[in-house]
Every structure is written in structure tokens, then in C-alpha cells.
Structure 1
């Protein structure tokens, strides 16, 4: 399996280079990985002590951030390396203040693994949720370097738990400790005789809870809302935007404001969304030249402010689960005590299933269900407030993963 894996890594590298000229996201990853070792060499000296945090993408970064911040504060004299595999994480957080350098993780060849660790030599490595790379993890273990995995989720169909998965299973044993989100993941690890595991829960609950301690005021959003009922659609994709656009266009007379924050903010897609709306619509980039109170829809064609915008929502829709892209962060709106509507493809997101069961979240599969649920929440204030409070209570009850992790690390 090791031989086949390494062949696959080489083939993947060649394939990505071949596709890069035709795909902007892949191109950024290919070019970024070329710079990784030079960035590390320029910033790390032989005498430096280091920590290494690795995340697949932006979601995992947000998940690990409370732990990263605590480690940053404790290890004041260490240099911190933050790595991403996906451009969508790197491009948005390449200037993260919790790290001294942010890089793309190189492809997991044996040569790259050795070179990376020869330069970084991390005293402690923290991986978030998954993105488990066997060569680099096996090298960490071989060099007796500490590594932990936090907010981990496992499923029985993964190769770690199959008869042919010995090579991948070895990688898990490179972690000195694994903190899982749920009992089923812990049971799976114990089934392969991995014992250094406990259920800490999901660090995202701690992450979103800290949002309430920040200044979430956005004066231009307050002006736009104008004390009206406000629906915020976050991290939307075209399939969800179609449902929302149809609802808006057929309910023009409703005294409701709408904020849409698309996942992709490409100019063409933003303008297409705007053109499909039959009412006064303003883009974030146009806000200075418009009377925001007169607008019915505000489209956020920028990044980094959605978590604050949810502070102004009375109802939220979170994108991803209507298609195959994966449900985006539903805990961000939930912490503000508002009901949330999502698509129907949420099987891999236990927090969504839990909030649906408790009555704070509503799943829809088509336009009719979307309209029915949204209309009910708009018109029934008691239901809206009650549902929102159930979401807030759910988040509060599931905090505490960060404390468990830091206690283990004796911080």
C-alpha cells in the first residue's frame, strides 16, 4: 500500500500541474507549494523553537483557532508555522496573526515530508479534524516529535478501519493523542487498538461562542436593516440563491430585508445574482454611493464579515447542503440565537442533525419547502424566537473542547 500511495502522490502532482493553467484555484495551490520551502528557510533559524498547526482549509482553521490562540499566547518565544492544503484556506488566512508564517503544505511525498520537518522541527504539531498525511506523520513519529489531532471525526468506511488500511492506520499512531468530536469516532479508534483517545467535542462551539465577546457592530448593516425583519443567507451557492431569489421576487411586498453573502464572490456570479432580483439591490462594494435604507437586498461581495453580519439576522439560511459542496458553518448564526434553514444533504454534519431534532433548524429540499419554512418563521414571531433560543442553548451546552485539549497539554 505504501508503494501505491507514493505513486499516487507523484501522479497527483503531475495531474495538478497539468490542470493548473485551466483552473485558477488549482493554479494558486501549485504555485504556492513551490514557495513553501523557501518561505520556511527564510523565516526559521537553526536555533528557533517552533510549533506547527495544519488545517485542510478555512473551516478547519476556524475550528482550531481557539486552540491556536491559546498556544500562541503560551509559547511566546516560539515561531509558529500555519499550513493549509486548500487555496480557499490559504488565500483568506495567509496573514493570520496567530502564525509567524503561513504556507501551503507540500504534497505528501517522502522527500517533501523529510525536507519540511528538517526545516521546521516542530516541538508540537496540531492537526485539525482530518487531512491526515501518512508520510509526514510517520516521519513525525520516527523523529519522536509530538503531534495531536483535535476535533477528529471518523467513519467506518475509511481505510484506517479496513483490512487493507495498515499503511494509513500507522499514520494515526503518529498522534500521541486524538480528541474526537463524538463517541462513534472514539469507538472506531479503539477497534484498531488506538487507546490514547477521548471525546472532547467540537472546538467550533468554543470558536463561535467567542464571537459574542467581540464587537459585532457594522454601522452600514444597521442602516440597511432599518429596524426591519432581516434574513441573512450565508455562504450561499447558486442552487440556494435561486430559491431565495424566487422567494424575494414573489414576495416583494413583505416588509423584510435580505442580506446574501455568496461563497464565491466572482464578479460575474455576483452580477448575475443581482440581475435576478427584481427589487432595489446594493452590493457591499457600492454601499458608499447608495441609500442603504431604500434597498431591499444587500449582497456581500467581500469576505471576512459574515460572522458579524449574523448579529443582525432574525432568520438565517446557510448554504452548501442543497448541492454537493458540503454544509457550511451553521454554528455561526446559531450562537446569535436565531433559527436556521439549510438544505437536505446534511448527513455528515451531526450538529445540524442535532439542531433539527431540537427544533432550531429546518431542512428543505425544494422551493416549496423553502417557501413554507421561511414564511412560517417570518410570520410566527413566537416560533422564530423559540427556535433561535434552542440553537443558542445547544451551542452553550456543547462548549468545553478547548479546555480539555489545553489541560492535556498542561497549559
Structure 2
């Protein structure tokens, strides 16, 4: 089949390109080294699960992991006899979550070739496979089907411009037809799948809501953040990119000039010293980095706290009244739900956010506001929120209620597997 030829060629070209990039890219080097001699290393890793059923969860990267996480953790409780294998495609997921305690085994997924897929099945012998959101690998899914291993996709979302819905997309449509079930995030995705004859699908929602809904009750207190806030209004910039800060900093400087009090926490998407230095130089208030705070520092005297570490952001939202979520001026908007669950108005860039259903929902509900590359418009909206407590608190309540109204996707996935096991008996 011509489709398979092009697919295999694309996999080969991508793999070759990553190997070349590994000479100069740390991320590419992780990708290559994590897959070297994968089969004996995986066999050694899995030695402890012989005789036990194994559930395989696969995520592309860190964002998909956050969608998979509530299902993994609920699955462990519901099916304690299963071991759990978690795989990643990208180093940005694996390197950050390689010590995640919710899985028994964590590994890179080898490139999707027929040989790798066959060896993977013989090595892993999974009882069930769960692919999160966008991951649809032809050979792995085909080999699972040939060996009667159910494959489930959840939190999936589809758009008309994807190859599945193109006249030349039959090869990729066949991948979807092999799946035992596809849980989609929204009605439009369900209709797209209906249009190409995919019947093993249902509206499941987004499992990230189950994850973030519990954050207000489980997020740890971060004493330094609490001291920094000092009971003042706080804006948090989550996953900040330079393009975001180009809009935000001039507005913050105007507030400083007008003596309008607002504390600011900035969590960069990537901890790059030059970016943080630039922001500190542009900002006219007093700024300090998280790593610079010591017992001798009165952190409440500072106006901006830059979070120069990873892993704290979801808990930091509990201290904010307003959020800006980064990424939408670039490759794509980052996670808005971690902010929304704590209840607050949200801003983000107006470019690349429309492929995220929750962002569209938040805008439609009046909770979030996309901002054009126009600092003046952002300044006006921000000042309104700072001075109008009633409006700000009303939006915060809508934000919390929106998240609560969307929980339940995890239970649907687990219910499907319960039914599958019951039918097998």
C-alpha cells in the first residue's frame, strides 16, 4: 500500500534526522540514547511482572501525560492486580517524569517500525494499551490488534484539517478503525469520526479536568510564595515565553509608575538565564528569582518573583487572583485548566489557542480573554479587574464552576475496561 510506504519512509527520515541532530541537541541526544538497545533493557525492567497483567499507557510528551495521569492513578486503584508501563515519545515528557511513582515502569517508545512493534509485543505482552490524545502509531496498533490486545484512545480531539479527513487519508483512517474505542473530547470530534465511518467511539471528555479538579484540595502550600504575596493582589504568568513578556512588562511598568499595587509571579516555559535577565532589566519594580531567596531576604518587599525551577506551577496558581498563560503567540497555548480550577480571570495571546477546546470554552464563558499584540488593550482590561472586585470575583466563581462541570472522563475509560474484562469471562 502506497500509504504505508510513505508512512514508513517518514518514520525512517524522522529517525535519521533526530540522529543527526543529536550531535548538537541535548533533547535529540536524549531521544536517541533512550532508545539504544531498548529490548534487553526493557526485558530487564519488566522481569518483576511475569504472570501479572500489564496495562500500557503511552503519552507523546508532558502535556499528554497530564491527561493520562488521572486515568493511570485511578486505574491502579481499580485494577490493583495490573502492573503499569508508561511510555513517552518525547524527552520533554520522559526526562521530567521518569521517576513518576504512579507507574511501575517508565520507558521511551521505540520508533514505529513493524520490527519494533513485533518485538515490543513479545517483550511487554500487554493486556491492554491506552494511547493518550494524538498518538496513533500504525505498526504498534496493528500488532496489538493481531494479538487481540485492546487499544483505547482517550481525550482524543480531531479537527477537519487532519489527514484522517482528507481524500488521501485512507491509510490513516485504517489506523483509527483498528482501535477498540476512541473517547473524544467534544461533539465536533465525534461528528468528524462519524463522517468517516468510525463507530467505536463515544464522547468522553477531557481527563485533565479530573486531574485539576482536585488541585484546590491537594496542592501543597508553598511558604515562599505565600510570603511574597503578602495578602496583595497577584498576577501569575504561567509558562511564560518572551513574546508574552513583551506584552506584559510594559503594562506592569505603567502600573508601577501609577503606584497601582500588583504582585507578579513569572514561571518561564524554559529556564533560560538570558530571558530572565532581560525581564529583570526591563521591569521597573523590584524583582528576585526563587533561587535567590534566603533567610536574609524579606521576599514580601519584592514586586516580581521569577520561578527559576520546574514542577511548582500547578500549586502556585492557588496564590493568584489573575493569570496569564503563555505560548499562544508561538507554537500553542499551554495549560489553562490549572489556573481555571483555582478560580480567576485568564489572559493569553490571540494567535494559537483555537485548537484547545477548553480555551474556546473559557473565552465563550467570559472567563478568558485573548490579547492581541497590543499592550494598551491588555492594560485596560487588567486595570478593570484590579479595581472592580465584584467583576473579578464573579469571573473567578464561573472559572471554578466550569472545571467542576467537566469532570468524569476518567470514570468512562475505567468503566469501558471493566466491561471489556467482564465480556471476556
Among 288, 311, 314, the residue aligned to 2:318: 311
Partner of 1:385: 393
Instruction: Indicate conservation of the 8 Å contact 2:255/2:261, yes or no.
Output: no
SS class of match (2:237): strand
Give the counterpart of 1:107 among 108, 111, 116.
111
- Which whole-Å deviations, capped at 9, do the CAs of 1:76-122 have from their partners, x for residues lacking one? 23321111111111111111111112112111111111122211111
Tell me the CA shift for residue 308 of structure 1.
Answer: 0.7
> Do residues 250 (structure 1) and 254 (structure 2) align?
yes
Partner of 1:400: 408
Shift of 1:198: 0.8
CA distance in 2, matches of 1:39, 1:377: 54
Q: Which of 256, 260, 263 is the equivalent residue of 2:266?
A: 260
77, 80, 83: which one aligns with 1:79 = 83
- Which structure 1 residue ranges, 5 or more long, are not aligned? none
1:14 corresponding residue in structure 2? 16
Distance 1:169 1:335 in 2: 36
**Superposed displacement of residue 3, structure 1:** 1.3
Q: Does 1:97 align with 2:104?
A: no
* Counterpart secondary structure, 2:418: coil
> 1:290 Cα deviation (Å)?
2.2
Match of 2:176 among 142, 157, 172: 172
Q: State the match for 2:136 in structure 1.
A: 132
- Paired position in structure 2 for 1:27: 29
Match of 2:366 in 1: 359
After TM superposition, give the deviation of residue 10 of structure 1 in Å.
Answer: 1.0
In 2, Cα distance between the equivalents of 1:283 and 1:165? 49
Residue in 2 that maps onto 1:277:
283
- TM-score (normalizing by structure 1): 0.96
Matches within 5 A, 1:148-167: 148-167=152-171
User: How far 1:321 sits from its partner (Å)?
Assistant: 0.9
CA distance in 2, matches of 1:125, 1:306: 30
Tell me which of 49, 52, 70 is aligned to 2:53: 49
Aligned counterpart for 1:213 among listed residues 201, 214, 217: 217
Among 165, 175, 195, the residue aligned to 1:191: 195
User: How far 1:48 moved relative to its partner?
Assistant: 4.3
Structure 1 position 70 matched with structure 2 position 78? no
The equivalent residue for 2:417 is 409
For the residues of structure 1 that align with 2:413 and 2:68, how far apart are their CA atoms? 11
Instruction: Compare 401-410 and 300-309 and name the one that shifted more.
Output: 401-410
- Which portions of structure 1, spanning 4 or more consecutive aligned residues, are displaced by more than 6 angstroms? none
Kindly state the Cα deviation for residue 15 of structure 1 after the two structures are TM-superposed.
1.0
Report the equivalent of 1:329: 335
Q: Deviation per CA, 1:364-391: give whole Å up to 9, x if none.
A: 0121222222122112111111111111
Aligned length: 410
SS of equivalent residue, structure 1 residue 304 = coil
Residues 1:339 and 2:345 are matched in the alignment: yes
Over residues 174-230 of structure 1, what are the superposed CA-to-partner deviations in whole Å (9 max), with x where a residue is unaligned?
Answer: 221111001111112122222111101111111110212304311111100001111
Structure 2, unmatched stretches of 5+, are 420-425
Q: TM-score when scaled to structure 2? A: 0.93
Distance in 2 (alpha carbons) for counterparts of 1:194 and 1:158: 15
> CA shift at 1:266, angstroms?
2.5
**Alpha carbons of 1:272 and 1:38: their partners in 2 closer, same or farther (altered >3 Å)?**
farther
Q: Residue 3 of structure 1 corresponds to which residue in structure 2?
A: 5
Alpha-carbon distance in structure 1 between the residues aligned to 2:359 and 2:204: 18
- Cα separation, partners in 2 of 1:272 and 1:190, compared to 1, 3 Å: same
Deviation (angstroms), 1:237: 0.6
Residues 275/25 of structure 1: CA separation in 2 closer, same or farther (3 Å cut): farther
**CA displacement at 1:270 relative to structure 2:** 2.6
Q: Following the alignment from structure 2 to structure 1, what is the Cα–Cα distance between the partners of residues 112 and 389?
A: 53
Query: Using the alignment, how far apart are the partners of 1:141 and 1:117 within structure 2?
Result: 11
Classify the secondary structure of the residue corresponding to 1:44: helix
CA contact (8 A) 2:216 2:318 kept: no
Q: CA RMSD in A?
A: 1.6
Matched residues in 2 for 1:205 and 1:348: separation?
Answer: 17
From 377, 384, 394, give the equivalent of 1:369. 377
C-alpha displacement of 1:153: 0.5
Kindly state the Cα deviation for residue 35 of structure 1 after the two structures are TM-superposed.
5.4
Question: Cα distance, 1:327 vs. partner?
Answer: 0.6
